[in-house]
Amino acid sequence: MISSSDAAPVSSTGGRHRKVQPVNRAVRRTLVAAVLTPVAGAVMAGQSAFAADQPAASKESVSRLDSTDQKLVDDLDARSQDKNIGATFSGVVLDAESDEVIWGHDAKTALMPASNTKLATATGALTLLGPDHKFTTKVVYGDGTLTLVGGGDRTLTTADLTELAKSAAAGLKNAGLGTVKVRIDDSLFAAPTLAEGWNSSYYDDQIAPVRALVVDGKLVQDTAIDAGNVFAAQLAEQGIGVTGDVTRGQAASTDFPVAEHRSAELSVIVKQMLKTSDNDIAETLLRATGLASGRAATYEGGTAAVRDVLTGWYGISVSNFEIHDGSGLSRSNRITAQTVAEILDLTTDPRHTKLKSISEGLPVAGEAGSTLGPEWGRFDTANSECAVGKVSGKTGTLTGATALSGLTQGKDGRWKIFSFIENNSTADGAAIKDSLDGLAATVNGCWA
């Protein structure tokens, strides 16, 4: 699949998150300008676009639209009928300054969202763990054995293990020890299983079995033993003999700490996950979110935590929301375009600074190395290439499901949030993506 702190948790009000108190337009424009990023303005600030008194998005356009927005509505009405998109389609566009639902089509219809699921996963992780959270990988010693203890760092590298090995080797040599056994402890997460809606063909292609220890993001069956072998090899490079094979077992409470490595901050990891739509990072974050909520590090624990965050912290209704994993690989996931837009709207709300790395991490149209880059054939048609550098969005692709949801500054200068999700189109996958890119260019106003 190319698939300051927040306010305290609030109860759900009418199924939507609470609005901040109205601010005058000058202040609001200042907030928007203050947080624009230099690349395509991927982040903007504004009030919550789904206020409790807003109607649900529908085919009917909102009253009192100005001529620019009316043109946008007319264009989307026509272009969303594109045969490449098909009949099973959920879409919505919001004006973030006025809080108006500008346009919608079956916006409350729950569809398979593919990697747009990662937006919910990121929201849960950033809320409960915090954007400054770091994952710790440790080495401990006891009874002739060094244990490499996984802490859920999916970004751990061979270079990181080398530094751990150097520290461990120095300590062993100071203690007069030249040989050691090596084991791994990945017990932080429950043993890997397939999520509902997954099949075993995903392994070694889309994702690795989810464990608390992995090195270099490898898609191998046992990432923890693989990491242990890399660590053992680095110990040997430092002149420490390793006896026997690397084994699996839990570190004892009496084991002595030898070395540790801390990951980059969670906000940085979230950006990496979104830019490349990294499935493995998403599933790791889901388990860490489950643990942070006091639940088990499982699909069930993580998804329950995400649902509670959406409702308890932000008042987003989950009555038409169903996820079974963190990455969006599950074909049993169902989310509406309205819910995706509500989640993106949170990231632009100045009350919720914990979430700003989500909008900052969205791929930008034409950005090489991201899922909206030219290597993926995105925003390269006559209708959409005008939006290169102007649209930030999260992609989602599974067989039978394509999604694009994000932010852009419209032709009228106002920021807009959009979400487009299609299922079951029989068109070529590239043609479907081109059509969704065209809708995003329509929201931007460059394809007029």
pLDDT in tens, 359-381: 999 999 999 999 999 999 999 99
CA dihedral defined by 41, 329, 113, 2, rounded to 10 degrees? 40
What local confidence, expressed as pLDDT, does residue 15 receive?
34
Task: Report yes or no: 166 and 240 within 8 Å, Cβ to Cβ.
Answer: no
Query: How would you write the chain as a 3-class SS string?
Result: CCCCCCCCCCCCECCECCCCCCCCHHHHHHHHHHCCCCCCCCCCCCCCCCCCCCCCCCCCCCCCCCHHHHHHHHHHHHHCCCCCCCCEEEEEEEECCCCCEEEEECCCCCECCHHHHHHHHHHHHHHHHCCCCCCEEEEEEECCEEEEECCCCCCCCHHHHHHHHHHHHHHHHHCCCCEEEEEEECCCCCCCCCCCCCCHHHECCCECCCCCCCCCCCCCCCHHHHHHHHHHHHHHHCCCEECCCCEECCCCCCCEEEEEEECCCHHHHHHHHHHHCCHHHHHHHHHHHHHHCCCCCCHHHHHHHHHHHHHHHCCCCCCCCECCCCCCCCCCCEECHHHHHHHHHHCCCCCCHHHHHHHHHCCECCCCCCCCCHHHCCCCCCCCHHHCCCEEEEEEEECCEEEEEEEEECCCCCEEEEEEEEECCCCCHHHHHHHHHHHHHHHHCCCC
Average pLDDT of the segment spanning 87-99: 88
Neighbouring residues of 246: CB distance < 8 A, sequence distance ≥ 6: 182, 183, 184, 225, 228, 229, 231, 232
* Rounded CA Rg of the chain: 23
pLDDT at 209 over 50: yes
Which domains are present in the chain?
25-131+268-444 (3.40.710.10), 136-263 (3.50.80.20)
What local confidence, expressed as pLDDT, does residue 205 receive?
85
What local confidence, expressed as pLDDT, does residue 204 receive?
78
Cα distance between residue 367 and residue 378, in whole Å:
9
Cα distance between residue 140 and residue 148, in whole Å:
7
Average pLDDT of the segment spanning 139-162: 98
pLDDT at 325 over 70: yes
Average confidence score pLDDT of the chain: 88
What local confidence, expressed as pLDDT, does residue 59 receive?
46
State the pTM of this model.
0.87
Per-residue pLDDT of 57-92, as tens digits, reads 344 445 578 888 999 999 999 999 999 999 999 999
What local confidence, expressed as pLDDT, does residue 96 receive?
81
Give residue 207's identity as a one-letter amino acid code: I
What local confidence, expressed as pLDDT, does residue 97 receive?
73
Task: Report yes or no: 172 and 178 within 8 Å, Cβ to Cβ.
Answer: yes
